[in-house]
Amino acid sequence: MNLELQQFKADFFKALAHPLRIRILELLAEGEKNVNELQTLIGTEGSAVSQQLSVLRSKNIVNGTKDGNRVLYSLRDPMIIDLLNIARQIFNNHLIDTISMLDKINDDKNKEFEVEE
């Protein structure tokens, strides 16, 4: 794999590396929205939403289309939805592994406690 492609991937994932940007993408997966709609749904200041949209636009992750005096934002590539879903599955797998490990530790501690009594 060439260095340019690796750099593109690194920059792409850096653009996703912010909770507010992830939330924006999740909302845009439902359909296009303007800054005010995103602000209302997220419950944060418009300037914060605008700033994060700017990052996503600069990395060509979202598109902005003029609609009168507002801009409607949408996902540039619908495969972003798949990427977010896969990330959620990976997170869930890690969570399941962690829960299993904690259950085993608790079982072992309970067995030790039973033996001591």
Question: pLDDT of 25-75, one tens digit each?
Answer: 999 999 999 999 999 999 987 799 999 999 999 999 999 999 999 999 999
What is the reported pLDDT for 117? Answer: 54
Is there a contact between 116 and 108 (Cβ–Cβ < 8 Å)? no
Residue 110 CA: distances (Å) to CA of 58, 98, 99, 106, 115? 54, 18, 16, 6, 9
What is the reported pLDDT for 113? Answer: 65
pLDDT for residue 109 is more than 80: no
Structure-token match 């590396």, residue found:
17
For residue 116, the number of C-alpha atoms closer than 13 Å in the C-beta half-sphere is 6
pLDDT for residue 114 is more than 70: no
Average model confidence (pLDDT) across the chain:
90
pLDDT for residue 79 is more than 70: yes
pLDDT for residue 110 is more than 80: no
> What's this model's pTM, rounded to 2 decimal places?
0.77
Residues in contact with 41: Cβ distance below 8 Å, sequence separation at least 6, in sequence order: 27, 33
pLDDT for residue 108 is more than 70: yes
DSSP class of 63:
E
